[in-house]
Amino acid sequence: AAGVIQSPRHLIKEKRETATLKCYPIPRHDTVYWYQQGPGQDPQFLISFYEKMQSDKGSIPDRFSAQQFSDYHSELNMSSLELGDSALYFCASSWGHGDNEQFFGPGTRLTVL
């Protein structure tokens, strides 16, 4: 079965640079979620989108922004990168809004030097 696709899988950036992470949800899923998992930490919710509108927001820094496009894929834009942004970034998708299960992608490992 098709799964959530994230690209790139690995990304290395310098401090103060920008990064764009992409997420392609499972076909027919219209809701996407972004999570950040720092080294040795548990995943933390960042933001979600349903039908191209922001749905919920967590502890996402102001330097980060995200959007969902008409084909339901989503992009997480990160500017003025800091060392502390080094983490795994997971995207998840679900069908519809509410209590449907979220299916996670393999993640993007971002390293900021």
CA dist 15 and 28 (Å) reads: 37
> Of 16-24, 45-53, 61-69, 70-78, which segment contacts other proteins by CB under 8 A?
45-53
Given the complex with other proteins, which of 71 and 101 has the nearer CB atom?
101
| Residue 52 CB coordination number (10 Å) | 15
CA dist 52 and 73 (Å) reads: 9
CA dist 100 and 36 (Å) reads: 21
Q: Is 44 in the site for other proteins (CB under 8 A)?
A: yes
Question: Smallest gap, in angstroms, from Cβ of residue 99 to other proteins?
Answer: 5
CA dist 11 and 113 (Å) reads: 11
Q: Is 95 in the site for other proteins (CB under 8 A)?
A: no
Question: Smallest gap, in angstroms, from Cβ of residue 27 to other proteins?
Answer: 17
> Of 10-18, 38-46, 63-71, 76-84, which segment contacts other proteins by CB under 8 A?
38-46
Sheet containing 5-7, strands listed edge to edge, beginning at the edge strand earlier in sequence: 5-7, 19-24, 74-78, 64-68
Binding site for other proteins (CB under 8 A): 4, 31, 33, 35, 37, 42-45, 48, 50, 55-56, 58, 88, 90, 92, 97, 99, 101-107, 109
